[in-house]
Amino acid sequence: GREAAGAGLRDDGAGRGRGDPGPAARSPAAAPPRVKIPSATMTTGSPEPDLGPLFREAAAIALQSAWRGRTSRQWILKEAAALLLQSTWRGSRKRRLQARAAGVSASPPRDEVSEAATPPEASHLPPPGSPPPLDQGIWRTLYGSGGPPR
């Protein structure tokens, strides 16, 4: 069954260009088993969707806007991006949540880096020893109580 579904997916794009509606359009009954979600879970080996690419993209966007932005914002965004990248490299969501519960700031080298990177005018930021703001906290710090920009 899996091979046939894979072949059908490949045929879809190739056939449409030549005026062929594709196997899904010819037989509507064959469409439901070929939903893409199961194949995504097969590659990760877990029922959770793979959030790695999403986090990496968010980190890249945060770093880009940090380099364009002002110093205090730059510091916050770089911290957020570093946390996002670390959490994807570390692995599963469960381990990310455990690290968050443990306060993330447990590794001394990171604290030294944070202390050195803190610009003097960013006095409103939390001290380097405290856990960095995460999730909604980051957005509140950056954009006020309005939350992330829509």
Give the number of other CB atoms < 10 A from CB of residue 111: 15
Domain boundaries, the chain: 2-35, 52-146
pLDDT tens, residue by residue, 61-84 = 767 766 665 556 667 777 777 777
Rounded CA-CA distance 34/46 in Å is 19
Cα 64 to Cα 60: distance, rounded to the nearest angstrom: 6
How far apart are alpha carbons 90 and 38 in whole angstroms? 24
Instruction: Encode pLDDT of 90-137 as tens digits.
Output: 555 566 566 667 665 444 444 444 445 544 454 455 555 555 545 556
Q: Is 50 exposed, middle or buried (0-12, 13-18, 19+ CB in 10 A)?
A: middle
